[in-house]
Structures are given as C-alpha cells and as structure tokens.
C-alpha cells in the first residue's frame, strides 16, 4: 500500500482511475461527473439565506434547485479526498501564493488574491453559461461523445491558453 503515500502518480494511472470512476457513476448513480452546478446551487442557498423565499423565484434556481444533491456531495468529497491524499504523502501545506506566481509577480498575497477572485467570478459565470466545466463537459461530455462537450473543452483551452500567455 506504499503507493498510497507517494506524492505523485503517473498522469496515465490517474487518468485510468478517473475513467473507471466514470463507469461507476453511470452505473451506480446514473450521473456523469460534474462540479460547477454545485456552486450555482450553493449561491442559491446563500441568496435564500439573505432574501428568503424570493430567491427561489429566479428561473435559474427552479432548474438548479438550491439543495445539497449528489453533485454537491461530490464536490465536498473532492476536498476531503485531496486532503487525505496530500496529508498521507506529507505535501499538505497551507499556502496563499503559488510558486509560479511568486517567480513572476513576487510573494505579495494581495495581488494574487485579487486576480484569483476575479478569475473565479469569470469562471463561475462562464461555467454556468456553458452549462458545465472541465469535468462536466471536459471529461463526462467528451467521453459520452457529446458534441457540446468537445466544443466546450476546445473553447476552454483555446481561451485559457491565450489568457495564460497574456498573463505570463
């Protein structure tokens, strides 16, 4: 079981693992892996916390009801799984600024947090606009041979690459 404590696995091994996990979600839960809708549901829960039932009148929250569902639990599970993995291999360490960022923009936390916050807004907005993210479209959509999944993942990477070269 020593491999469970290694810091990194081959990306191919990880890919096989995620592929097999996809078989299981279709078989056991009749669901593809996906993450971004859980954030939309959570935002609806937060709004109904503040505004009460009026938040539920939004057409979007009638389609994506603000409740804890399978996918919400999946996202929670990802946090736990990554925590277990990083703790077992000893690489868990709280950090505010990623090292690639430090090497170009310096160690100050504030600029990174501002950029990450704005990036998060764009990504949350874009993911819900497109109807999925890197898992929902990029892995689950493409493996189902869905046209929407392949178009979405192409757009994610084309605009992601252009933006990354603009930043660095």
Partner 1 sequence: MLTHLHSKRKLQLGIGLATGILFGFLLQKGGVTSYDVILGQLLLKDFTVLKVMLTAVLVGSVGVHFLVSRGMANLHPKTGSGGQTVIGGLIFGVGFATLGYCPGTLAGAIGQGSLDALFAGMTGILIGAWFFALCYPTVRDKVYPMGSFGNVTFPELLKQDRWKVLAFLAMAIVLVLFAIELAGF
Retrieve residue 14's tokens: 């990880």
Single out the residue of 84, 106, 107, 108 in contact with partner 1 (rule: CB under 8 A). 84
Measured distance CA(84)–CA(48) in Å, rounded: 33
Say whether residue 30 binds partner 1 (CB under 8 A): yes
Retrieve residue 56's tokens: 């539920």
Are 137 and 29 in contact by the 8 Å Cβ rule? The answer is no
Say whether residue 8 binds partner 1 (CB under 8 A): yes
Say whether residue 56 binds partner 1 (CB under 8 A): no
Closest to partner 1 by CB, 84 vs 106, is 84
Closest to partner 1 by CB, 18 vs 106, is 18
* CB of 131 vs partner 1, minimal distance in Å: 5
Say whether residue 46 binds partner 1 (CB under 8 A): yes
**CA proximity to 34, closest of 108, 153, 131, 157:** 131
* Helix (H), strand (E) at residue 151: helix 147-167
Task: List binders of partner 1 among 117-146 (CB under 8 A).
Answer: 117-146
Retrieve residue 155's tokens: 């757009």
């Amino acid at each position: 079981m020593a491999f469970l404590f290694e810091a990194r696995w081959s990306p191919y091994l990880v890919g096989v693992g995620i592929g097999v996990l996809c078989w299981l979600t279709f078989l056991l839960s009749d669901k593809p892996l996906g993450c971004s809708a859980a954030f939309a549901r959570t935002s609806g829960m937060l709004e109904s916390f503040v505004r009460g039932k009026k938040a539920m009148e939004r057409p979007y929250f009638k389609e994506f009801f603000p409740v804890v569902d399978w996918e919400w639990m999946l996202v929670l599970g990802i946090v736990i799984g990554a925590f277990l993995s990083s703790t077992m291999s000893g690489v868990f360490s709280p950090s505010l600024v990623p090292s690639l960022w430090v090497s170009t923009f310096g160690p100050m936390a504030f600029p990174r947090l501002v950029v990450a916050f704005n990036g998060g807004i764009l990504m949350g907005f874009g993911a819900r606009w497109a109807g999925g993210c890197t898992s929902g479209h990029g892995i689950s959509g493409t493996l189902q041979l869905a046209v929407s999944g392949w178009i979405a993942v192409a757009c994610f990477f084309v605009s992601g690459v252009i933006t990354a070269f603009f930043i660095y």
